[in-house]
């Protein structure tokens, strides 16, 4: 089994990275492969709502020159996904917003590639805005019918300079517990895959309120 973690921070080894590393160490201890994809420094365009991913159904975004399509296949092949962001103005970073909008749009337009994968979200913050940012990240995971791993507190860790999160004792425990629960949920899913059938996927119903 393997988990892919998305580092949405512009800094490759900032506090978002350190938070993911703590979670990842627990996964590795449990025998689960772990890889961090650093996308927060990339030049990623936002979704243009062209609809080509739904029209072509080739598991690709039409804006494919920036590497997103390769990442889509890497994530599709994984068993679990962690999405992580620093806090920018009490919200997720702009680059990871572009990344997630396109990733989840392509996934949904192609039969929901992320359905029933185990997922989690992680936030690194200097002072405040962590809960709002975490909530925003969870919107993606829950929309895709992912199985959400939890911890003993909200998955937010505090620090300013890279590595300062190591001084947040409660945040460190939160990340450790998240890693343990993520590994347990993945193994439980794997062990029951032959005996418990997942619910049939329903065709998505889309409505609006304009009459």
What is the tens place of the pLDDT at every residue in 135-191? 999 999 999 999 999 999 999 999 999 999 999 999 999 999 999 999 999 999 999
* pLDDT value of position 104: 98
pLDDT single digits (tens) 60-118: 999 988 999 999 999 999 999 999 999 999 999 999 999 999 999 999 999 999 999 99
Reported as a single tens digit per residue, the pLDDT across 33-58 is 999 999 999 999 999 999 999 999 99
Using CA atoms, how far apart are residues 192 and 179, in angstroms rounded to an integer? 20
Distance of CA 39 to the CA centre of its chain: 12
Going 166 to 171 to 173 to 178, the CA torsion angle's sign is negative
Is residue 83 a contact partner of residue 141, using CB atoms and an 8 Å limit? yes
Q: Tell me, which fold does domain 2-192 have in CATH?
A: Rossmann fold (3.40.50)
Question: What pLDDT is recorded for position 210?
Answer: 85
Strand residue runs (E) in the chain? 2-7, 33-38, 80-86, 118-125, 147-148, 156-158
According to DSSP, the β-strands at 118-125 and 156-158 are parallel
Q: What confidence tier does 4 reach under pLDDT thresholds 50, 70, 90?
A: very high
**Domain extents for the chain?**
2-192
What's the predicted TM-score (pTM) here?
0.96
pLDDT beyond 80 at 211: no
């Amino acid at each position: 089994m393997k988990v892919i973690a998305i580092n949405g921070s512009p800094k490759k080894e900032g506090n978002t990275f350190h938070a993911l590393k703590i979670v990842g160490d627990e996964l590795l201890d449990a025998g689960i492969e772990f890889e961090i994809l650093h996308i927060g420094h990339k030049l990623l365009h936002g979704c243009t709502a062209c609809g080509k991913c739904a029209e072509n159904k080739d598991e690709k975004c039409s804006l494919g020159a920036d590497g997103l399509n390769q990442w889509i296949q890497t994530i599709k092949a994984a068993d679990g996904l962690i999405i992580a962001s620093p806090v920018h103005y009490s919200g997720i970073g702009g680059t990871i917003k572009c990344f997630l909008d396109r990733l989840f749009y392509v996934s949904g337009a192609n039969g929901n590639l992320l359905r029933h994968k185990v997922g989690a979200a992680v936030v690194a913050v200097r002072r405040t805005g962590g809960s709002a940012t975490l909530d925003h990240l969870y919107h993606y995971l829950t929309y895709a019918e992912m199985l959400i791993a939890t911890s003993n507190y909200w998955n937010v860790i505090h620090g300013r300079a890279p590595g300062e999160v190591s001084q947040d004792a409660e945040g460190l425990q939160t990340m450790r517990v998240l890693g343990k629960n993520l590994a347990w949920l993945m193994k439980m899913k794997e062990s029951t895959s032959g005996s418990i059938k997942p619910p049939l996927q329903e065709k998505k119903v889309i409505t609006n309120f304009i009459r």
